[in-house]
Copies of this chain bind each other. A is one copy, B any other.
Amino acid sequence: MKIIAAKKILKANDQLAEENRAGFNAAGVYCVNVVGSPGAGKTTLLEALFTALKDRLRPAVIEGDIAGSIDAARIEKLGVPVVQINTQGACHLDANMIAAAAADFDLAAIDLLVIENIGNLVCTAGFDLGEHLRIVVLSTAEGDDKAAKYPAIFQGSQALFITKADLLPHLNFNAERITADFKRLAPQSEILQVAAIQGDGIPPAADWLAGKCAATLR
């Protein structure tokens, strides 16, 4: 009987993630892993960014959900190719799932592959999927203490998108607090603030993402 320790599984995941990344590099595909709480506004952010980037980049999406395909249907409406992963209860995506899902795309026809992870600020933190960039999405309504309370997910992310900025007048949200906490955990990272439904902050965010994509793949 073979017994596999959790540490070894994570190591195996890291190796698979490296293979995914090598495959994305070879195909000229920039890959982004988007994490955040349920209801942080991940899908709405993607809808806004894809609309802003539609003449500049060819995106595709892997949607991770416990159940259903609500978000995948929203992405499909934009004409963006999408593969839905249903984890049937599992709390995060792993590199193996991404390898299987990515095989369903024609990578030659894609510039930007976005993985929308399960809504979970805890378990997604430990799993490299082979992405080039991990973005953590936090809505203003979630509060300014989340980096302090869920440090691992923030520490391993290279960018923070603060969403639902339109709600700021109605909330007690201190942007300086979350900025300070995040910069302490991830000093080299960037912070962008948007109100995706209203479009506020979307043009510079789209430029920023297109720039990351071009810089990595040139």
Contact = CB atoms under 8 A, between A and B. Distances in A.
A120 to B, nearest CB: 5
A130 interface: no
B37 A150 contact: no
Contacts of A152: 66, 89
A146 B39 CA distance: 8
Nearest to A119: B121
Interface in A115-158: 118-123, 138-139, 141-143, 145-146, 148-152
Q: Is the interface of A mostly helix, strand, loop or mixed?
A: loop
Nearest to A164: B141
A190 interface: no
A7 interface: no
A127 to B, nearest CB: 12
B37 A149 contact: no
A170 interface: yes
A71 B143 CA distance: 12
A167 interface: yes
Interface string A33-46: 00001110000000
A122 B66 contact: yes
